[in-house]
Structure 1
Amino acid sequence: MSADVLAANTRRVRDGREFRGKTCLIWTGSADSKGAPRYWDSSVYEEGARNSGHINVRRWVVAQVCDLADDEVAVVMCGNSLCLERDHLQRLTKAQAANRRNVKRRKEYAAEEIVEAIRAIIPPNYTENAGDIMKIHEILWGTPHPDKENQ
């Protein structure tokens, strides 16, 4: 893989969203089954070897700046799985990356529980009701609403 291949297979996102002060650099080439950028390079192909010839593009980009050990991975931090902007990539050990995924899943699950709890209080045809607002405050903050204490 080369810088020319990278330049020919990426485009800069211009939708105004930024992460760490830069917009995403999107891979427009092929991706693996998990949506990670990959590139086929016949010069690294070995007959009979598993995934031979496929290059993990994200790992290649990070390797241009620093060495990656076998137990390290290049993780995209901006949330866009096809992003190759160097400032959006971080080098983590496989254990750190797994922990990061698990923490993210726990946060998503907790958020879903909060949404379901709020939906249980507020019907679809909701009209503003101070009592409901106080219940929502108690769910979100775990304490009574300040106005409730004054009543």
Structure 2
Amino acid sequence: MRKTGAVPVISGAWALPNAPQFSEGIAKAKELCRSAGGTFAVLNVEGEDEQSQSVLETAFRDARSDEWKEFLADCLKFEAEIAKEISIEKFTFAELEEEEQSLERLRRWFRDLKKRDALQLPAAEQAQKALNSCIDSLEAYAQSVYSAQNGGE
């Protein structure tokens, strides 16, 4: 359920906004639970009052915010890694391939986070900019690698 974007309410109980992007994840979790002999129930609930509703919204918002912060931190690590490789002039295809894999992991992670962000938090826009910066950094590094491997042409 966590991978779907749910937040824990109590042991064994999870909450998600009632939004279409969560249907597939709920269906997978239901199938997995029931195939293992477990019990799975989906309930549509509403807070009794504004404060009750706010508790769930806050939990969901905080969970997404934490994920976006972690993503942004990893983007900074990626950028630092590229800067380090440039500073030590490590312009090898093996290193480029490793960095391409790291960027692909960031791209997949961004897509997953975006699917779960039903509240469309402002941090998603920051994350998109950070990811674009990572892409630009890798492109510049790749140019340096190809130039070094082709004898500085």
Say whether the fold is shared (TM-score over 0.5): no
Between structure 1 and structure 2, the one with the greater Rg is 1
Higher relative contact order (CA 8 A, sep 6+): 2
Give the structure-2-normalised TM-score. Answer: 0.30
Task: Give the structure with the higher percent strand.
Answer: 1
Task: Give the structure with the higher percent helix.
Answer: 2
Give the structure-1-normalised TM-score. Answer: 0.31
